[in-house]
Structure 1
Amino acid sequence: MKLHGLDFPDDLLYAPAYNLWLREEADGAVTLGLSAYGCALYGQIFAFTPKRDGWHIDKDRSFGVVEFAKAAASARCPLAGTLLVSNDAVERRPGLINQDCYGDGWMVRLRPDDWAAARAELVRGQAALDAFAERMRLDAFDPDGDSVQALRHE
């Protein structure tokens, strides 16, 4: 699926208010990463500093800090859970988030406290595109901006 040239794979779940994608793993863990829209908003990412493995993260609390050109922001979590592992490759080369946000640029894996409840608040498919389109409208997002052009795979 595409929106303003940005990819949103339809096999993932999304938390548009957090600009994150989520994928349930076979072992019950959940992988989180920054969506293409989040990458476009931040621009080039220079650092990702996650919380420690084993740390319990409450819903709406930070699982790490993302540093980009002009600022830093807490990466807030759309669900409560225990951080199992962060992506060491992203810590060493944070630009992986921009280069492959849905693949090698994943950020953390969590063991959710209540996956069924959290999953019910996530969206996929057309509902995800509609939610991101509304966020873009509210953010006065420029789909022709330089950070967007760098992410396009058309």
Structure 2
Amino acid sequence: MPEIRGCNLPDELLYDVDNNIWYQDNQDGTVTLGMTAVAAAMAGPLVAFTPKKVGRSVKEGKSCATVESGKWVGPAKIAFAAEVVEVNDELSGDPKLANADPYGKGWMVKVKPDDWGVASPGLTPGTEVAEPYEAKMDADSFEGCAP
């Protein structure tokens, strides 16, 4: 698993580095996504998580959820068009799960992509994510995840 400046980025996931979102192909036509450890560290402790409702279609580059911390409010932008098929109600009740376990209990939504075969090649595999994340951290003046 790559660790960039103390931030874990699991190999088996795909990443939208620009938007700090990870994706996991569930092999059943759905994809789970969430905030990366980098996003969680940059945002600080989350205080609210508001996903789009199940059944809603989300266009490429648009928000599938709104995330709020004490210092930031913003969209979780999806890298491809999809329909929301499940939301993490546990995260809605305890938004700090995204900080404590971003790749496990802190997942945000599951979606059914309009065309995963077209969408997935545009994402960065975990095995190749170190260099793009180093560059993004430099550009964002982000020191890294706290130990």
TM-score by length of 1: 0.91
Q: Is 1:80–2:66 an aligned residue pair?
A: no
Aligned 1:2-151 pairs, distance under 5 A: 2-143=3-144, 148-149=145-146
Shift of 1:127: 2.3
Shift of 1:125: 3.3
Partner SS for 2:123: coil
Partners in 2 of 1:126 and 1:22 — Cα distance?
A: 14
Q: What is the identity, as a one-letter code, of the residue corresponding to 2:69? A: F
Give the ranges of 4+ consecutive aligned residues of structure 1 lying more than 4 Å apart after TM superposition: none
Partners in 1 of 2:63 and 2:126 — Cα distance?
A: 26
Partners in 2 of 1:65 and 1:125 — Cα distance?
A: 25
Q: What is the identity, as a one-letter code, of the residue corresponding to 1:65? A: T
Q: What is the identity, as a one-letter code, of the residue corresponding to 2:43? A: Y
Which sections of structure 1, spanning at least 5 residues, go unmatched? none
> 1:109/1:69 Cα in 2 relative to 1: closer, same or farther (>3 Å)?
same
Partners in 1 of 2:69 and 2:94 — Cα distance?
A: 13
Query: What fraction of aligned residue pairs are identical, expressed as a percent?
Result: 35
Q: CA RMSD in A?
A: 1.0
Shift of 1:48: 0.4
Shift of 1:5: 1.1
Shift of 1:126: 4.1
Partners in 1 of 2:45 and 2:60 — Cα distance?
A: 26
Partner SS for 2:34: strand
Number of aligned residue pairs: 146
Partners in 1 of 2:10 and 2:68 — Cα distance?
A: 25
Partners in 2 of 1:15 and 1:28 — Cα distance?
A: 19
Q: What is the identity, as a one-letter code, of the residue corresponding to 1:54? A: G
Partner SS for 2:129: helix
Shift of 1:79: 1.1
Shift of 1:139: 0.4
> 1:125/1:75 Cα in 2 relative to 1: closer, same or farther (>3 Å)?
closer
TM-score by length of 2: 0.96
Q: What is the identity, as a one-letter code, of the residue corresponding to 2:49? A: F
Partners in 2 of 1:86 and 1:125 — Cα distance?
A: 24
Spell out, residue by residue over 1:37-95, the C-alpha distance to the aligned partner (whole angstroms, 9 max, x if none): 11111111111001111000000001111010123101111111000011010000001
Q: What is the identity, as a one-letter code, of the residue corresponding to 2:50? A: T
